[in-house]
Structure 1
Amino acid sequence: MPTELPTVGAEMLFNEIRAFRAVIRTGSMTRAAATLHMSQPNISRLVSRLENKTGLALFTRLPGKLVPTLEAHVLFQDVERLFVGLEGLELSVENIRKFGNGRLRIASVPSLSYSLLPKTIARFNALTPDVPISVHTDSTSMVMQWVGSRFCDFGLVSYLDDAAILTQPTDVMVERTFNLEAACILPADHPLRHKTVIRAEMLTGMSFVSMASSDPLRAKVDQAFQPNDKRRLLYDTPHAVTICRMVGLGLGVSIVNPLVAIAADHTGLCIRRFEPSIVFASHVVAPRHRPESRLVTRFLGVMDEVLAEDLAAVNAVMATA
């Protein structure tokens, strides 16, 4: 008659696994006992009980020495994964206790995930360490979907016209809006670099790096050059950070979100005020009928501080000629 193998289920107690892990990590039952604030005989009993319940010989016992078997090393790998998960769970519980949520999921359009979000996350982490944060970047429509489905706690979008606001999903609301005055960017050695204000007619005949034709902000920029638009429209791209890089390399001039411009200033840009003024409105969108968690409230407070500092930096750079 075949021998029945031991079954392992709820009867494998947590303390037995914890004792086994401590012995492997410290190399002896005496040190494991000190780590867990238990007696050495108690550690020995827990490990023996684990061996009996699993049917595994986990240690070779030599005089004055305890040697883990191959089975012990294999089991230890799974035990470590378990404890890493448990430690993460403890951190999540602590964050929920403090802030009402264990992690942040943020949706954003590319321009704001490149410019505003990284600095905000860095400052938030300094104030509130160990909070996991996931940033999901895509188009405005996808950001709205993620927020509406509550996959993300809130989102950042760079453009919503009046029609879009009126027709936005009923499960998404605009929580706040911040208006940004568009910046004109030039290569660092551009002939107009000494001007503090760049007017539309000054860019006549110049190579211009545009936003993609599908971008609603493209229409606002193009309108500023009417009715006598004489730019050389050679390049276009959907990403403002790419525009900044192309301008920095001397491929043309452009009009962009000032937050992206100041974030990319190290790439050899000259940032100037533009006339006629073009306002880029950015919005924080959140799930409707869902209370804002303390974690989100704190993050948005930090973001407001970073935004104010960045706008001050933009104004200072624009005033320098």
Structure 2
Amino acid sequence: MRLRHLEVVNAIRVTGTLSGAARLLHMTQPAVTQILQSAEKQLGYQLYRRVRGRLEPSAEAAVIFPELETLDRQIVKLQQLTSNLRSGEASLLRVLCAPALAQAVMPEIIDRFLKQHARARLSVRAEYSSSVISDLALREADIGLVFEGEQHPAIDFTALAEIPLVAVGSPKFFGAGARLGLRDVLAMPFIAPDPVDPIGRMLAKACEEHGWTLESSVSVLLYQAALATAATGLGVTIVDALTAFTADPRLLLQVAEITPALTLRVGVARAATNRQSGLADDFIGLCRRVLSERGMALG
């Protein structure tokens, strides 16, 4: 049977009469009758029999109806999806985000996005950059806002901003407005980023290039945990500027510029085979704008 046949047979199933099916489908009753007869001729058996003025399904039709009901539900879902796409609102945008960015910029991005797309549904989950990449490769999310670092053949990365790295510590190590060389920072009691973290990898590469030894009695994966540890006076740490300037002021931390400057790129990761969507493009545009407003535009 063709789709038009199925549509008419289902309308008769729902309404119980030819006239009711005609009204439901905005057709004339003779047209409905003609399409039903065409379907029955193609199948080689009757689908409905008239009993006391009402159409009753045949035994063959009773076997078909459960599948017809499933198809009807799928068509309703398809109609809803196409309507959403026409209005510019896809059903759901799944976003993954590095924890530091989730706290520093994501709340503002979410607020602006939902003001632009009031009917959109947004799922945002904070994960480490390495986990974001693997989840995107498995198509468990649509886009990821991450620090540049781990590469994957199935993932495309588009840089949006460059964020400077800064040294953070208690006032006993340095004062406000200090400018420190990287070697000076590493010579202090140091709270190291985890070696698998993007900043950890960057520091390891810098030490290798200069022939330095990175010594630390403690390494911390979460940037906020590194700040809290630094606030105890145990040592200094290095984080991105966004994280440093959103730190709890009660920690009484000092922030020092590192010279020459070290920067970490932030961008959007997507599965290479993932098709573009208007919602995703708008979300990425907002990420770029918010980061630029924070002074983190690409140089």
Mark yes or no: TM-score above 0.5: yes
Unaligned runs of 5+ in 2: 1-12, 16-77
TM-score (norm. length: structure 2): 0.62
Map 1:225-236 to 2 at 5 A.
226-227=210-211, 233-236=216-219
Counterpart check, 1:159 vs 2:159: no
Number of equivalences: 220
Structure 1 227/276 Cα, relative in aligned 2: closer, same or farther at 3 Å? farther
Partner of 2:131: 142
Matched residues in 1 for 2:264 and 2:248: separation? Answer: 19
Counterpart check, 1:179 vs 2:168: no
Matched residues in 2 for 1:176 and 1:205: separation? Answer: 32
Return the offset for 1:223. 5.0
Structure 1 residues 103-155: Cα deviation after superposition (integer angstroms, max 9, x where no partner): 21012222222322222112222333342211233333331232223321111
Return the offset for 1:220. 2.2
Matched residues in 1 for 2:143 and 2:296: separation? Answer: 25
The alignment partner of 1:145 has SS state of helix
Return the offset for 1:227. 4.2
Matched residues in 2 for 1:178 and 1:232: separation? Answer: 30
Matched residues in 2 for 1:121 and 1:265: separation? Answer: 22
Say what the alpha-carbon RMSD is for the aligned residues.
3.2
Unaligned runs of 5+ in 1: 1-8, 12-88, 314-321
Return the offset for 1:92. 7.6
Structure 1 289/90 Cα, relative in aligned 2: closer, same or farther at 3 Å? closer
1:199 counterpart (172, 177, 181): 181
Map 1:96-135 to 2 at 5 A.
96-135=85-124
CA contact (8 A) 2:167 2:185 kept: no
Counterpart check, 1:288 vs 2:272: yes
Partner of 2:63: none
Between 219-228 and 206-215, the greater mean CA deviation after superposition: 219-228
Partner of 1:278: 262
The alignment partner of 1:214 has SS state of coil
Matched residues in 2 for 1:228 and 1:255: separation? Answer: 16
1:260 counterpart (236, 239, 243): 243
Higher RCO, 1 vs 2 (CA within 8 Å, ≥6 residues apart) = 2
Q: Give aligned-pair identity as a percent.
A: 21
Structure 1 127/276 Cα, relative in aligned 2: closer, same or farther at 3 Å? same
CA contact (8 A) 1:95 1:131 kept: no
Matched residues in 2 for 1:141 and 1:205: separation? Answer: 29
Matched residues in 1 for 2:93 and 2:140: separation? Answer: 10
TM-score (norm. length: structure 1): 0.58
Return the offset for 1:270. 2.3
Q: Which amino acid aligns with 1:311?
A: G
